[in-house]
Structure 1
Amino acid sequence: MLKTPHDRFDDVPRASGRVGAHRAEQPGINGPIALLWSAAVALVLVVIGIFVSMVLMGRIDLFGAADPEAPQTPGVLAKIDTSYRVLILNATPQTGVVATVRQELIDQGWAASDVFGSDGSTSPFDETTVFYVEKADEAAALGVADVLDGARVEQSDHYASMDATGEPQLTVVIGTDHLGTTSPAPGDGEETPAS
């Protein structure tokens, strides 16, 4: 076998690293670590999706809930306006409630002749509500609601036919939620069913 003659290239030291292009995987990135990163990203996306869904459905309020005791419509302030007549209807099984509510309104400045009502009801009503007819009556209705410890306020012309005088009138329907805050009038010791 022929021996090649020694030349200057034989004196160059051999490199100890990889030489040329290699298509092997990068060291340090393996299957379990990639799987863990994928699971973490998926979990974060699921949590964000649930949070956004709950905000859109109204289950989470980002800006704080309004005070449930304040039944006011934005932009309308409650005003005690004693120029309104007030019809009080008792929709509870207890008698004497109209007299108690009537006295509360008279104590706030209403004339006794402008506050009147009926103690009978054909069907129970759950939540005490002040009904008004026109949008202009809303502030006065909110004032009556404040006197009655935050009753609900609703616009409706259902009771408009009960006003034969033509004067502005509000209608208060006393619900069973009001029974805990009123005491029966003298002589009304027992509950009687609504008629």
Structure 2
Amino acid sequence: MSQPNRDRFDDVPRSSGRVGAHRAEAPGMNGWVVLLWSFVAALVLIIAGIFGALVVMDRITLFPDAQPSATPTPEETGVVDTTITVMILNGTPDDELDTQMRDTLINNGWTADKVLATPSDTEDFAATTVFYVDAEDELAAIGLAHVLGGAAVQQSDFYATLNDTGGKQLTVVIGLDRSTSAPETPAETPAS
């Protein structure tokens, strides 16, 4: 057999150690690092997928349109009309509430003959309410409710039969919200 030609690498002395840059990775560490990076990559993909799905389903808007600032609607304060007759019905077990409310109205400009106070057939009316019959009396009912320190206002002809004055009349039913000795369950029906 023929001998291969000699070159300059044939003259390098042989050593017993390793020659070159053959460095092996530390055994056992590579598996945990790969697992950790796999977990991080999966988590990022899941979060991106959920976010993308919410954007596609219009659950999240990336660039919302500027909303015009809402102007608050002014609260209707009503008109205090002391020429309208006011019937006060005490729908609570407290005996003096109708007299106290009558005095409040007289101190706010009503004449004594325009304010009638009487107990009601019921003693468990839920909330103090000003009732009016005609729609044109709504502002007067709202004004009366403000004079009383806040009360509900409702249109109803239930108390129209109690008006024997021949003129306009508002009816105030004092409720348990003004009572100091309120029963546990208020009535569901109007007081009379």
Same fold (TM over 0.5): yes
TM-score band by shorter chain is: 0.5 to 0.7
Cα deviation digits, residues 137-175 of structure 1 (max 9, x gap): 011101110011110100011100111221100000000
Please list, as runs of the form range in 1=range in 2, the aligned pairs for 1:26-105 lying within 5 A after superposition: 32=42, 34-43=45-54, 48=59, 72=76, 77-105=77-105
Return closer, same or farther for 1:130/1:48 CA change in 2, 3 Å cut-off: same
- For residue 124 of structure 2, give the secondary structure of its aligned residue in structure 1: coil
Q: How far apart, CA to CA, are the structure 2 residues paired with 1:123 and 1:45?
A: 58
**Aligned partners of 1:97 and 1:119 also within 8 Å:** no
Cα deviation digits, residues 35-61 of structure 1 (max 9, x gap): 442122235567937xxxxxxxxxxxx
Counterpart residue type for residue 96 of structure 2: G
Once the 2 structures are TM-superposed, how far is the Cα of residue 81 of structure 1 from its aligned partner? 0.3
Once the 2 structures are TM-superposed, how far is the Cα of residue 91 of structure 1 from its aligned partner? 0.4
Once the 2 structures are TM-superposed, how far is the Cα of residue 116 of structure 1 from its aligned partner? 0.7
Q: How far apart, CA to CA, are the structure 2 residues paired with 1:99 and 1:36?
A: 68
Q: How far apart, CA to CA, are the structure 1 residues paired with 2:92 and 2:79?
A: 27
- When Rg is computed on C-alpha atoms for both structures, the one with the higher figure is 2
**Gaps (5+ residues) in structure 2?**
1-40, 61-68, 184-192
Residue of structure 1 equivalent to 2:165:
165
Q: How far apart, CA to CA, are the structure 1 residues paired with 2:108 and 2:144?
A: 9
TM-score (normalizing by structure 2): 0.60
Q: How far apart, CA to CA, are the structure 1 residues paired with 2:149 and 2:142?
A: 11
Return closer, same or farther for 1:136/1:192 CA change in 2, 3 Å cut-off: closer
**Gaps (5+ residues) in structure 1?**
1-30, 50-61, 181-190
> How well do the aligned residues superpose, as a CA RMSD in angstroms?
3.0
- For residue 86 of structure 2, give the secondary structure of its aligned residue in structure 1: strand
Return closer, same or farther for 1:131/1:38 CA change in 2, 3 Å cut-off: same
TM-score (normalizing by structure 1): 0.59
Q: How far apart, CA to CA, are the structure 2 residues paired with 1:34 and 1:192?
A: 61
User: Could you tell me the percent identity over the aligned residues?
Assistant: 40
The number of residues matched between the two structures is 134
Q: Which runs of 4+ in 1 moved over 4 A?
A: 43-47, 62-67
Residue of structure 2 equivalent to 1:142:
142
